[in-house]
Chains A and B, each alone.
Chain A
Amino acid sequence: MDATLKKDNLLVSVSPHVKSEESVSRIMWTVCLSLMPALISGVYYFGPRAALVTALCILTALFSELLFKRFVNADSTINDGSAFLTGLLVGLNFPATVAFYIPIVSTFFAIVITKQLFGGLGYNVFNPALMARAFALITWPRAMTTWIEPTAKFIGVDAHTTATPLGILKEDGLDKLMAVFGNASSMYTELFFGHRAGSLGETSILALLIGAAILLYKRYITWHIPLSFLGTAALLAWVFGGKTGLFTGDPILHLLSGGMVLGAFFMATDYVTAPSLKAGQILFGVCCGAITMMIRLKGGFPEGVMFAILIMNCFAPIIDRNFKTKVFGAKKANKDKGK
């Protein structure tokens, strides 16, 4: 920069001249912060090993990002927080008891293959954290579906393996699930506070909602995707979820269990892999909810949030193309002539 220009205050840069404080890294770090309640609840319920798994994921993510950027001689992007966020999300998606090599390999896969090989942040087709989970679930199915009962005791953990509520629902039906929790209202309470088996970050709905409230308040995410996602899933669960006929299902159970809340607020709303226009986002959310419930009610897996979001990630560019905003002043005749 020319020193004289700076001194005389004559330097004029190109527009925009008034910028907001927001930046990619600021958003990323805020999302990380908003996931802290979920992480804390995971550590509270599943013991220090939950923190260890998450830390391992974060370290692997940062290290992979650094290594790849060094390998291709590009500027380091490690400070923008996106690798940290991916690592954190991968960690929250694993059961706390998982063997340590699984999160390491999966996070490496998420950063290097899903994100960097497609061009880095902003160019990845699929949500890296969910790809890590899908990769791990397909490669090590046994390890990824061995859940332990939450203990809420920090030392002297005596872990029992058990199934997730959705797993019980799939294998043994609703009656068995009721027997586990006692009655419906205590089941809802337990599920809401996260006292159940599951991935370490998905169980506590309360903690996730605190984080989601921060993001909504800061307007980093809008209501369009989460609400349409959860709304569609609840509607389909109510209509088709019951054993005795239509309109007898339990939507609250389906909303509170599995990775529904974590997926709807933190995964499906990823800027890169979701449509960017409001109308498209609603379609995206509706389709995510529908696919989730299809897998949960009719598919082979007990949980479908991950697959639903990954499938819809493919369609995000197509959705965006078909929900173009109207160009100001453009005439319809011109548009027809173009075809």
Chain B
Amino acid sequence: MSNTKTNWQLVREGILTDNTIFRMAISLCPSIAVTSSLRNGFLMGAAVLFVQVMVNMTVSAMRNVIHPKIRIPIFMLIISAWVSVTDMGMAAFAREAYRQMGLYIELIVAFASILAKAELFASKNKVVPSMFEGFGMGVGFLIALCIISFFRELLGRGTLWGLEIIAAKPLLIMVLPAGGFLTTGLLMGFFNWVDMHYFGGKGAGGASGH
């Protein structure tokens, strides 16, 4: 199967119609775990963006030398390698952020979305489309995390990126794990609603599995 879409289409799909969190409802773990502040959400999204682009490019470049029968372990090795690079890079250059989110950076290895993109797209397509595909997905992920963490930090702490916006803490529940589930679910419903009412979509997402 070769790709017939333009690079721009691939980026657009990754951000909008195939958005990892709001449309495909996979890799939801970070959307709850690290989005209690906008800064953490952004850094996590940026780390995933980097890992996804690099993994897609590496897998795509090696696609003709990987034996199909052992492709999944090879993909995992590639993913782990790039996650380690990200992990060590953050530990060296962004110590303060790393202290807060180091554990979750390592968890990127287990993200379904990264392996899915490697298996479904990168292993069957050339390097440049794979790069754009990974970029689109990563940016979509980044945007989703930023939206979720925007609401959670603003409502839960009254701050944005550590700066005080509201003097009080309006809804403490939003920075707790329960708030992560609530925000993600409500935003997913909102985007489905927008899609159904203004773009004639069927309202995809994990909830309507049937």
Residues of A within 8 A of B (CB): 105, 113, 117, 135, 138-141
Please list the residues of chain B having a beta carbon within 8 angstroms of any beta carbon in chain A.
Answer: 171-173, 176, 178, 182, 186, 189
Shortest C-beta distance, B27 to chain A (Å), equals 23
**Complex: how many Å from CA A141 to CA B171?**
11
Inter-chain contact A113/B173, CB cutoff 8 Å: no
Interface contact B172-A140, CB-CB below 8 Å: yes
- Majority-rule SS of A interface residues: helix
Name the residue of chain B whose CB is nearest to the CB of A112. B186
The answer to whether B176 touches A138 (Cβ under 8 A) is yes
Chain B interface, DSSP helix/strand/loop, else mixed: helix
Q: How far is the CB of B188 from chain A (nearest CB, A)?
A: 11
**How far is it, in angstroms, between the C-alpha of A135 and the C-alpha of B176 when the chains are bound?**
11
| B176: A residues at CB distance < 8 A | 138
> Which residues in A have their C-beta under 8 angstroms from that of B173?
135, 138-139
Show 14 A/B contacts (Cβ-Cβ < 8 Å), sorted by A. A105-B171, A113-B182, A113-B186, A117-B189, A135-B173, A138-B172, A138-B173, A138-B176, A138-B178, A139-B171, A139-B172, A139-B173, A140-B172, A141-B172
Distance between Cα atoms of A117 and B181 in the complex (Å): 14
The answer for the CA separation of A61 and B176 in the assembled complex, in Å, is 25
Taking the closest CB of chain B, its distance from the CB of A310, in whole angstroms, is 12
Q: Which residues of A contact B171 (CB under 8 A)?
A: 105, 139
Q: Determine the distance from Cα of A139 to Cα of B186 in the docked complex, in whole angstroms.
A: 18
* Residues on A with beta carbons closer than 8 Å to the beta carbon of B172: 138-141
> Distance (Å) between the CB of A64 and the closest chain B CB?
15
A105 to B155, CA, bound (A): 13
A135 to B178, CA, bound (A): 9
Q: B189 to chain A: which residues have CB within 8 Å?
A: 117
Name the distance in Å between A110's Cβ and chain B's nearest Cβ.
13
Separation in Å of the B11 CB from the closest CB of chain A? 33
Instruction: Report B-chain residues with C-beta under 8 Å of the C-beta of A141.
Output: 172
Q: List 5 extra interface pairs beyond A113-B182, A138-B178, CB under 8 A.
A: A117-B189, A135-B173, A138-B172, A139-B172, A139-B173
Q: Which residues of A contact B182 (CB under 8 A)?
A: 113
Nearest chain B residue, comparing its CB with the CB of A113: B182
Q: Which 9 pairs between the two chains have the least Cβ-Cβ distance?
A: A139-B173, A139-B172, A138-B173, A139-B171, A135-B173, A138-B176, A138-B172, A138-B178, A140-B172
